[in-house]
Amino acid sequence: MINILKNTGFLTGCALVSLVSFLAVPAAVAQEESSSGTLLKRKGPEEVILENLHKARPEIKFGKPRPSPIKGLYQVQVPGGPILYVTPEGDKLIAGELLAIEEGGLVRVEDPYLIAERKKMVSSIDPKSTINFKPKGKAKAVVYVFTDVDCGYCRRLHSQMHTYNENGQQLPGYNDLGIEVRYLAYPRAGIPSPSADKLISAWCAKDKQDALTKLKAMEAVPNATCDNPVATHFQLGGEAGVSGTPALFFPDGKLIPGYLPPAELAKQLGI
């Protein structure tokens, strides 16, 4: 997985501190007075937050602010980037993953609202727009994978679609375990880019599965263009919180941001 903040050029590493300071601009005035002395409508925190975020980074299309699981903070999704946890005044933020402190360890917090939104997103995907790798016989589970061909862990995942060797052992792949993988295109370098062109060639190939397999094995395939879903997938992934590849979505709205070996993914899917 790439750095969740790097994909959009939003911020990286120590730059987080810089952005927090950069956003420490005066919050928008809660209520303004007209020339006649009449008080105008009070601005809500959602409006204040968006105004300050856009002042700080006008080139970014921020999502709609909504109350977060952390009491007193609002959350804002950056398309293709992290979720931001912002103060009601819109003057400070935290960017990153939300973890719950529980006995025995730290657990990633899944916001019920985001799960519901992802579930809607997954149910809206036309299987015909994806490149599918199906098991023999009836699939026990389906997982949607946003993928790039110039991504090491994407290549590793694909190399384990069927039986593979690891440490001298033959292990069952995703399809062998009954998992159907439905790929969506997510060129991390954006559109246009060489990565996007490769994905377009795969989606426009006569044999899509073969073309994608060759590209993930770092083999060349003929350049091809057609009416394709690559840009639509890329936008959809950004809106759903994809910040790197591979990104695995379950039909129930669960998101796993990264590679999982076949046996572990089967366990997560309950099969």
Q: What is the pLDDT of residues 81-108, one digit of tens each?
A: 889 999 999 999 999 888 999 998 998 8
Q: Which of 118, 151, 155, 182 is catalytic?
A: 151
- What is the crossing angle of helices 194-203 and 230-239, to 10°? 120
**Three-class SS of residue 24?**
coil
Yes or no: say if 83 and 241 are a contact pair by the CB < 8 Å rule: yes
Q: Which of 150, 154, 155, 182 is catalytic?
A: 154
148 a catalytic residue: yes
Residue 163 one-letter amino acid: T
Reported pTM: 0.75
204 a catalytic residue: no
What separation in angstroms does the CA of 213 have from each of 31, 137, 156, 202, 203?
Answer: 58, 21, 11, 9, 12
Q: What does the block give as tokens for 126?
A: 């036309």
14 a catalytic residue: no
Q: How far apart are CA 118 and CA 258, in angstroms?
A: 16
Q: Which of 57, 118, 155, 188 is catalytic?
A: 188
Residue 244: name the closest of 101, 97, 129, 146 by CA.
146
Q: In this structure, what are the phi and psi dihedrals at residue 4, rounded to the nearest 5 degrees? A: -65, -20
In this predicted structure, what is the pLDDT of residue 33?
53
Q: Which of 57, 118, 148, 150 is catalytic?
A: 148
Catalogue all structural domains in the chain, each as residue range(s) with its CATH number. Answer: 15-101 (no CATH), 112-269 (3.40.30.10)
Quickly state the pLDDT bin for 110 (edges 50, 70, 90). Answer: confident
66 a catalytic residue: no
Residue 263 has pLDDT above 50, yes or no: yes
Quickly state the pLDDT bin for 24 (edges 50, 70, 90). Answer: very low
Residue 143: count other Cβ atoms within 10 Å of its Cβ. 24
Average pLDDT over residues 187-195: 96
Residue 3 has pLDDT above 80, yes or no: no
- For tokens 């931001």, name the residue: 84
